[in-house]
Every structure is written in structure tokens, then in C-alpha cells.
Amino acid sequence: MAKKSRKSKDYFGLPWLVSVLLALFLGPIMGIFTRLSEKKIVATILRIFFGWNIVWLIDFILVLFGKPILRLVNF
């Protein structure tokens, strides 16, 4: 049987292990960069002021399990 790979489109399409390490060490910064790359200005501003604490932890857990990162505001 083929081994099922964990695929995530977050953190610029990087491999899962790289995304986990980035989420662990640079999570708040990477969250801001991903919102900027998606051209979501309001979400970026909210992420700068509120996303550096609990949202970072939620993003790390979601990336760890191969899920998409949390997007509370999509504009």
C-alpha cells in the first residue's frame, strides 16, 4: 500500500515537516505572511494585533495534524 502523505496548502505549499517547524518557531510571523500573500489586509491587521497568542497555538496544532490553518476573517 502506498503511504499516505500529509498535504497542507499552508505556509506557501512547503512540505509538512517544514511547515510544522515554521509554525513552532515562527508561527506568529508566518501567520502574518500567509495572510499578506493571500492579500487579506483586514485579516493581516487583526492577526498582527490579536493572532500572536492563542491563534498561533491553534495554527500550530492544526498544521501538526495536517489541517489548514485557522482563518477567522476571510477578507
Residue 9: half-sphere exposure toward Cβ, Cα within 13 Å: 6
What are 66-75's pLDDT values in tens digits?
887 777 776 6
Q: How many domains does the chain have?
A: 1
Residue 18 lies in a domain: yes
In a domain, 70, yes or no: no
List the domain range (segments joined by +) for residue 58. 13-64
Q: Is residue 37 part of a domain?
A: yes
Residue 71 lies in a domain: no
Answer for the pair 70, 55: CB distance below 8 angstroms, yes or no.
yes
Phi, psi of 11 (to 5 degrees): 55, 50
pTM higher than 0.85? no
Residue-wise pLDDT for 19-60, tens only, equals: 888 888 888 888 788 888 888 888 888 888 876 777 788 878
3 belongs to a structural domain: no
Residue 55 lies in a domain: yes
